[in-house]
Chain A
Amino acid sequence: MVMSCETWTERLDTYFDGELSPEEARALNEHLCQCTSCATEGLRRLQQKRAVQAAAQRFMPDPAFRGRVQKKIAAPRPILWSRRWLPVLVTVAASVLIAGFLVTFQRTRRSEQQLLSELVDQHVATLASANPVDVISTDRHTVKPWFEGKIPFTFNLPELQGSPFVLVGGRVSYLRQSPGAELILRIRQHQISLFIFQEEELSDAQESESVRTAHSFEVRNWRRNGLLYFAVGDVNGQDLDRLSELFKAAG
């Protein structure tokens, strides 16, 4: 399609404003190279554009005025202490407190969830590992001394004979950069990880005892003598409850 010079010149301003599409700009550019009349008109428009650009920079603010505005917008608003503001203040303060509580509560919940997820991850990693335990022993008198010097605390292991649980072994585990013990136990064909950490290292685990499910794994958590216990496994809840009772009884 052949376009008239009138159509081309209509696009000149849009062209110099940089608002034509790349294809249109290329086509117009080609036309300008061939058409003296349109090129002259283009030059005139460009010169006018530049002239306005230069002429428009005309007024400079007074330095004192800048200072005045700065002072005005930086000035704190006066606080009006009067009785009618009191209910407003009380409402605001109460809202802030409630909001703060909710935020803290939610944060704690989130942090606890993260903690549980980490433990479940570790349990799954143990299950998938070719060497799931560092000390292989079914004897609690072998496992417990093995941890000495490797973790900064000691714990009691219950006698498991007569119970459905079998001790497989143990390994050193880390949670939030703190070392702890991970005991691996078996019940029927299922494996359970029992994590033991120092309470002060995990201050965000708020609840003293809980029964939860995380990522379809059953989780039991309790505290004893400054230690935090987490039992994680794909077993039914009653099995974990029995295990927790055994360990609680051992102290």
Chain B
Amino acid sequence: MTPFVDIAFLILSFFMLVTKFKPPEPVEITTPNSVSTDKLPENDAVLVELASDGRVFFSMRAESNPEAKYQVIKNLNTTRNLGLTEAEMQNYMRVHSVGVPFSQLKGLLSRPVDQHKNIAQPGIPVKDSVSNELYYWVRDAISAFQGKKINYLIKGDNSAKYPDFKRVLEAFKRNEQFKFQLVTSPEDAPVGTPLYQTRNKPK
């Protein structure tokens, strides 16, 4: 019995160390698979999430300089006349991702973060170039991260439609950004394909 319990606690400590708790996300997204092996950047990254129903969410990964996140909301507040108070802008720092039009942003940020999951978020409008609000989010993220190389991550759901994905790309293209990283689940290269042969070449 004792060795058994020993092993059990060993496994327990392993799982406790390995587990990484994800921040709460407003929508569940199942990413497609790809053979890519590159790691996701943790810092200086802009993450756009595309839900299965076409809703678009914007978030920033800037743990090393949280100041950037504040800069973005401050810029948006002045350029888009959002009328946010200082407390609401501070509240944005704790928000993981945002998926509301500018008109509803004040309503969202006036509520505490732990209530956000109860609020229905209709997504950031990207439908046409006039009302493409994602463009402004990206524009201000670029100026907030000034001088740094920003990684643009796009995390789309399997069943999201291609036109929605295209509109997200357009928001970036209008900001003169052309390099993207798509978030995918890794899988192995299929046996017998050229990539498989390159990867398994004897050295």
Do the two chains bind? no
